[in-house]
A and B are shown apart, each in its own frame.
Chain A
Amino acid sequence: MRISRRDVLSGLSLLGLSAGLLGSRRARAQTDEYRALVCVFLFGGNDGNNLVVPVDARYTDYATARGQQSDGGLALPMDQLLPLAPATGAASYGLNPNMPELQQLWNSGALGVLFNVGTLVAPTNKADDAAGRVPRPESLMSHQDQQNQWQTSLPDRQSRTGWGGRIADQLPAASLPSLVSVAGNVLFASGATSHPLAVPMAGGSTFGLTGFDGSVGSQAIRAAMTALRGLDLDNALVQSVAGETAAAFAASGALSPVLAGTGSTTDALFGSQPSVLGRQLLQVARIIEARSVLGATQQIFFVSLGGFDTHNDQINRQSPLLAEVSASLAAFYSATVQLGVASQVTTFTLSDFGRTLAPASGGGSDHAWGNHQLVLGGAVKGRQTYGTFPTLALGGPDDFTAQGRWIPTTSTDQYAATLARWFGVSPGDLATVLPNVGRFPSEDLGFLG
């Protein structure tokens, strides 16, 4: 009989060993069951003001500030919004009309919405910000910097590790890296000692060498390749390339059939012609399905969709992107249900920043700060909103400019800490994963059960 870590831990506690030892960084507190975090990064800065819209008395503020679409404005008509009704009572908010699948998941209790979260050096408000009492994040409103800071949750410094990577640094070594990106080498998934495995999306390139057979000549070439990546690594960049190459070859044997869809039972859920995001999430589903074979117990995934930098023509550009998000997240959630891991997989969105409430010339919006995000999964206490919705007034109490740029009322640290704690990071390790989290009042926003 295989002895699980939980058995070992309970045995240890019977022996009276201290909780301090049990809480050591290699142990996960709650349980031995498989758990996965899936980060969906919406590159370019998704306009959250049109993701979730108030449908109560505040709709007028929204419509006034955003302007009619016929005038180059951005207001979504009230009757098109998809109501996000709570378990009891009337809906206060409506979802973007292109996201019916996510409205259903809201109604079934799997989807939650987090309001006005953003990069923060410390808690602040309009008065503190204006007086310079709390420093702003470095290079606020720059795509690259804010993408990085959402991934590092360190807006007051440069960092070459992301919080997904730092969570993985806490995990025991596994045969397959705990971090898997279907979107290349990303900062989110880079730790101090952890490095992501980057895999192609479903239907993408081959995760292995092509063109070789079992002939003597082929075997000799492959053997020489193996030897060459271990030789003459005096140059640091060569060493880096060799390390990446070695990791790829080490994973290829076990992973390439999984990535090619061998044995996958969830492909059909993503449709016959899955979208770019769907193909990435399908690849995640395939890896989760093969978790036992691959020996994976805790995994952190990264997928992404670009195109959200809607400076112009926003209605026409954001609509298909949000439709793609909705359809592919719903397909992925269905896959986790089918695989019996819905409550063990939590999916969440990140994005560069929010966008101005006021429209810009050309029917778009410009870079801003705080933004709304989505959390999805069986463990999510869904059908609820979290955080504080901003006052939709240009130059109002939440706007640090005159165009509707929200000062965040919840930090990326709190958002990440809530996910990390659920994933199994012990309270004592949270400060290692999220060095700034202690500056904020709560480490748990309550959206995960």
Chain B
Amino acid sequence: MAVVTSRLVRVATAAIALAGCSSQPKSPPALTLAPDAVRLAAQATFGPTVAVVRDIEQRGAAAWIDAQLAQAPSDLGTYTVVADNVAAVCPTGSPSTCYRDNFTPFLTETAFFRNALSGPDQLRQRVAFALSQVVVVSGAEVRPNYAVAEYEKLLLRDAFGTYRQLLEDVTLSPAMGRYLNMVNNDKPNAAKGTEPNENYAREIMQLFSIGLVQLGPDGSVVTDGSGAPVPTYDQNAVIGLAHVFTGWTYPLQPGATQKTHNAAYYLGPMVVVASNHDTTAKVILGGTQVPAGQTPDADLALALDTIANHPNVAPFIGKQLIQALVTANPTPAYVARISAVWADDGHGVRGNLGAVVRAILLDSEARGDVKTVSTYGRVKDPVLLLTGPARALGVTTDGVYLAEASSALEQPPYLSPTVFNFYPPDYTSDVNLVSPASALLDSGSVFTRANATHQLLYAPPGRDTSVTGSTGTQIDLGDLAGYGADPGALVDSASALFLHGTLSSAERSKIVDAVNAQDASDLGARVRAAVYLVLTSPQYQVER
């Protein structure tokens, strides 16, 4: 009902303006929002809305987070199961939508954006999005859309579980198996001269769990006597693990016969063919011996336990979650506090992601009304530069525009160019600070971002007839819609919602001047001008 009321007020306001009344229409008083509630919403959701901020204000941060941790995943949709064969599914002459809908994650991305805008499980989605940038699977190589969707549902489901469980589910996911070649990974074949594929063995350690060099609990690099970083593993550990990961193949499609290499199929976990598993003894991470003659499952469990229990996992993954949610350059003490929660959630459970996320968001380095440390914060992901304005400004959408814009902004969800994500976690910006998302902020993207913001505000695309059920994208400027007649209150409200009230008086006056230069009879244009300037300002690009 609140939405309806504010819309009626706006209609009335516009009518008065059009009638040319001499007395200025009254704007409501500027929004006042608790700055730290807005910051928490920016860290833990796809963008603050007045409703979410009020919810946080009323419950308090901890209770709000606990309620979020209890939220079930939003539905990412059900998609047609197709053969992993473009030529067979979309033969020459098929409509172009055949490929787009079945062999790119486009439809799943539209669901991602719909859920990001309106799903109640904001924190779960936000953490799953962060995880999707750590344990990366990309539709660039895993082409069936339903396969990518299954994988992302896995991340949503496991977002607040243990990291050990996540690692196992990821390892046995056929999408991951296809992406990093653990599926149909044969035991050594002397006759053919082939060796087990090393791809997944290498990346599960390098990217998904422990990283390349030994770390202290605070994330500091352990060095040897000569000051060189101490590696976490060597090539022999990669080779040993590659042998552990032999014998697995795609899940059995209904009606098919089990083979050494099942046909590509992505529902359910991979299955193992024991005769294709290497049963010799292996040496893996940290010199751990995997005895000869074990079952494939026993080999796998020992390997995953060894990896998940390595002390690096807490600082390596924990720090990346801090960087994804709060700040790109956390203090070592912050990382150490999170590593302690990773080691033990208070109930003896290691790697409890829900507890880790809660600790990250409730840490003193995350909370507080004002952050003045000059290195604090994180450059926003392009996805958040799309969802943040859309959530705050009353956008209704089928997700099509946002999916397409995310591609233009070089961060289409689930479509990373490589397993190394859209940017490396240690990317160093020109100010010599770690800033992963700065890798996507270059002189060219300065314009694509501003222009995408302009399109959302001024000309959001309508219905796309090539997409079933498309409704297009509409914007009604949400809680800022009623402020067109009062530039001061307008800019203050935008500052409260988008910048948790940090706009300086100098910046405020520049934006107010620009609003006053707009057509006074077009109150919507005045709101758009103010919002465009806030959203394209360097301040808004950094969440802090």
Using a CB–CB distance below 8 Å, which chain A residues touch chain B?
43-44, 65, 67, 71-73, 135, 138-139, 141-145, 160, 181, 184-185, 190, 195-200, 204-211, 216-217, 219-221, 223-225, 227-229, 231-245, 247-249, 251-252, 306, 309, 311-312, 358-362, 364, 366-367, 401, 403
Contact = CB atoms under 8 A, between A and B. Distances in A.
A425 B206 CA distance: 37
A42 to B, nearest CB: 13
Nearest to A67: B193
Contacts of A248: 442-444, 446-447
Nearest to A311: B199
B197 interface: yes
A44 B138 CA distance: 15
Contacts of B429: 237, 240
Nearest to B517: A220
Contact of A247 (B410, B443, B458): B443
B539 A240 contact: no
Nearest to A313: B181
B124 interface: no
Contact of A361 (B184, B376, B441, B518): B184
A223 B514 contact: yes
Nearest to A184: B442
Given A211-B455, A237-B542, A244-B446, A145 B212 contact: yes
Given A197-B443, A311-B197, A358-B193, A236 B379 contact: no
Given A135-B228, A237-B433, A361-B185, 14 more contacts: A71-B194, A138-B228, A228-B536, A232-B539, A235-B374, A235-B377, A237-B438, A237-B542, A311-B198, A360-B198, A361-B246, A362-B181, A364-B181, A366-B195
A240 B433 contact: yes
B441 A360 contact: no
Contacts, number: 239
A138 B232 CA distance: 12
A238 B451 contact: no
Contacts of A245: 446, 538
Contact of A207 (B198, B376, B424, B444): B444
A138 B438 CA distance: 24
Contact of B451 (A185, A211, A364): A211
Contacts of A309: 199, 418
A190 B430 contact: yes
Contacts of A220: 513-514, 517-518, 529
A237 B212 contact: no
Contacts of A199: 443-444
B470 interface: no
B216 interface: no
Contacts of B246: 361
Contact of B542 (A224, A229, A235): A235
- Which interface residue of B202, B379, B417, B446 has the most chain A CB atoms within 10 A? B446
Where chain A touches its partner, the secondary structure class is loop
A399 B357 CA distance: 46
Nearest to B529: A221
B544 A232 contact: no
B291 interface: no
B328 interface: yes
B513 A311 contact: no
A306 B445 CA distance: 20
A210 B193 contact: no
Which A-B residue pairs are the 4 nearest by beta carbons? Answer: A198-B442, A220-B517, A248-B443, A224-B514
A44 B433 CA distance: 26
Contacts of B518: 217, 220
A184 B544 contact: no
B454 interface: yes
Contacts of B506: 231-232
Contacts of B379: 237, 240-241
A244 B428 contact: no
B404 interface: no
Given A206-B447, A231-B504, A248-B443, A211 B196 contact: no
